[in-house]
Structure 1
Amino acid sequence: MPIDAAKALAAEPRTGEITWTPRDVQLYHLGIGAGANPDKQDPATDPDELRYTLESRLHVLPSFATVAGSGSPGVISGLSMPGVDVDLARVLHGGQSLVIHRPLPVHGTATATGRIAAVYDKGKAAVLVMRTEVADADGPLWTNDAQIFVRGEGGWGGDRGPSARLDPPAGDPDRTVDRPVRPDQALLYRLSGDYNPLHADPEFAKVAGFDRPILHGLCTYGMTLKAVVDTLLGGDVTRVRSYTTRFAGAVYPGETLRIRMWRQEGAVRVEVSALERDDAPVLADTVVQHT
């Protein structure tokens, strides 16, 4: 079969050096909508937005870790690990979890170590968990788990893995914000390193089962974390400790994300939907742990 779970799990980790600069951080922030916050009267020059876009005030949203270095081990590189040979058109990003060990610097050089941490048999699909651990000279920076969903590659009788879902948040959300997705947003976001043609090539998108290119799940992930930080964490990116989500549905450029947030002790529960498609869910089981 195309996925040899034992071989994938036994493979040696891949280690490489990654670097990033303020320009990389700014490009990522622009790709997730910085400088275009509809809640601001003049978002391009608003002080809260300039923290994401102006080098003299720059701080780093923790979700930047998912693209830092752009060539670091991740979803695409995980598909070339020993024991894994799959068709990219059958691949979807199923979920993402990120643990931040300390605030991300504006520029840095670090070592990224990536490996397949788990392989699950979901029957009609397989799920690969690609773990990336990143550290610099001062110690660990972040740990990143990407859940890679591969359609048509299950059914070998392996471990089904965890399947529990979180209970829905209780009561009305504490905050609800809408964030428009620009028609060109996927084209801009992909410049941070994810060149999967699913997000740009209409013909490839049709082969993959979509009417047109879809937005990167990690772009929705970043837009959502920015909304949480800006509205409930006082704009302080250093308060984020971890961030987990399940990608529950596609987002199309030009749509509007409705982001609902519930305060909990030391955490924010989040649900995200596509407003124009009758609130179709796009992010579920989403938790931001914070100080």
Structure 2
Amino acid sequence: MAINLEALQALEITDMRFAYGERETMLYALSVGMGRDPLDLRELPFVYEGDALQAVPTMAVVLASTGIIRKTGVDFTKVLHGEQRLTLHRRLPVAGELLANSRVAAVYDKGAAKGAVLLLETTARSAADNAPLFTFLMTILARGDGGFGGPQGSGPEPHQLPDRAPDQTDMFETRPEAALLYRLNGDRNPLHADPRASRRAGFARPILHGLATYGIACRAVLRDVCDCDAGRIKSFDARFSAPVYPGDRIVTDMWTDGDVVSFRCRVPDRDVIVLNNGRCLVRARS
């Protein structure tokens, strides 16, 4: 079934309500590697409520999953998550209720052989005071839905990394059960849990969620650039470039230029870049 451009442009979800608490905040932090060393006092405030609990900023992308992609009519079996962009309008609360709106911000036709590109935007505000909390933009490649006669294009230009050696690197070894833990944040796709499902999709075994790698990259920036102060992160954007397998060692390379931190994630044991073109905007130390 061809994409109906007019219907996509009109598609909108309004005021969908979500609630989360300290448990979800600590679970997310654990699932992206916080607390691996339980004696590390810098990370303890992300996983322990007795130490002025903080939320990892990238948790925002799992808090307001409105399901708009399933209302677009695209062939969900041929969908790839290309990029994730997040803007935080203020520090993410560790608990609360949200009201979320989602829409199709743009759609591009790359042709019948290459598919369509959809930009799905979600904005969330606090249900308590109606103040904006965050906005995120997902770039989705619908490989089976091109050739519908829509506008050409491919979405926002990726951030270019500096042409020099990284200023900092962080190595993180993911656990074999990492995908089983991360899926408890809400994404229950069997691709990340069932070896039979992953083989049908062309993978030797279940792969880690791309957004888990995204969160692991945020952990590295928080630790190595922001001194574990979650309030310093204003935005966090990245492009997904290759799958990660639970158990992989992920190296995050970081470059700091003023208030912009560029980053990428690679798996050196397989010589592959798994997250690329990363850009984080940070606030100055308070």
CA distance in 2 between partners of 1:252 and 1:271 (Å) = 17
Q: Unmatched 5+ residue regions in structure 1?
A: 37-42
Aligned counterpart, 1:134: 124
Q: How many residues were matched structurally?
A: 277
Q: Secondary structure at the match of 2:50?
A: helix
Q: TM (normalized to structure 1)?
A: 0.90
Q: Unmatched 5+ residue regions in structure 2?
A: none
Tell me by how many angstroms 1:64 deviates.
Answer: 0.7
Give the conservation status (yes or no) of the 8 Å contact 2:108–2:117. yes
Instruction: Report the RMSD for the aligned CA atoms in angstroms.
Output: 1.6
In structure 2, what residue type is equivalent to 1:68? Answer: L
CA distance in 2 between partners of 1:193 and 1:12 (Å) = 21
Among 187, 211, 215, the residue aligned to 1:218: 211
Tell me by how many angstroms 1:163 deviates.
Answer: 6.2
Aligned counterpart, 1:40: none
CA distance in 2 between partners of 1:213 and 1:125 (Å) = 25
Aligned counterpart, 2:198: 205
Q: TM (normalized to structure 2)?
A: 0.92
Tell me by how many angstroms 1:2 deviates.
Answer: 4.3
In structure 2, what residue type is equivalent to 1:217? Answer: G
In structure 1, what residue type is equivalent to 2:213? Answer: T
CA distance in 1 between partners of 2:161 and 2:124 (Å) = 33
Q: Percent identity?
A: 39
Confirm whether residue 248 of structure 1 aligns to residue 251 of structure 2.
Answer: no
Q: Secondary structure at the match of 2:269?
A: helix
CA spacing shift, 1:22–1:179, aligned 2, 3 Å: same
Q: Could you give the per-residue CA deviations for residues 159-179 of structure 1, whole angstroms, max 9, x where no partner exists?
A: 223363443312111101111
Confirm whether residue 44 of structure 1 aligns to residue 38 of structure 2.
Answer: yes
CA distance in 2 between partners of 1:282 and 1:164 (Å) = 18
Moved more, 111-120 or 177-186: 111-120
Give the conservation status (yes or no) of the 8 Å contact 1:3–1:86. no
Q: Secondary structure at the match of 1:56?
A: coil
Among 149, 152, 159, the residue aligned to 2:144: 152
Give the conservation status (yes or no) of the 8 Å contact 2:104–2:119. yes
Give the conservation status (yes or no) of the 8 Å contact 2:174–2:247. yes
In structure 1, what residue type is equivalent to 2:38? Answer: A
Tell me by how many angstroms 1:78 deviates.
Answer: 2.3
Give the conservation status (yes or no) of the 8 Å contact 1:90–1:208. no
In structure 1, what residue type is equivalent to 2:278? Answer: T
Aligned counterpart, 1:194: 187
Among 90, 97, 118, the residue aligned to 1:109: 97
Q: Could you give the per-residue CA deviations for residues 122-143 of structure 1, whole angstroms, max 9, x where no partner exists?
A: 3312222221110013300000
Among 106, 112, 123, the residue aligned to 1:118: 106
Aligned counterpart, 2:275: 283
Aligned counterpart, 1:29: 29
CA distance in 1 between partners of 2:17 and 2:252 (Å) = 35
Among 61, 79, 82, the residue aligned to 1:94: 82
Give the conservation status (yes or no) of the 8 Å contact 2:55–2:93. yes
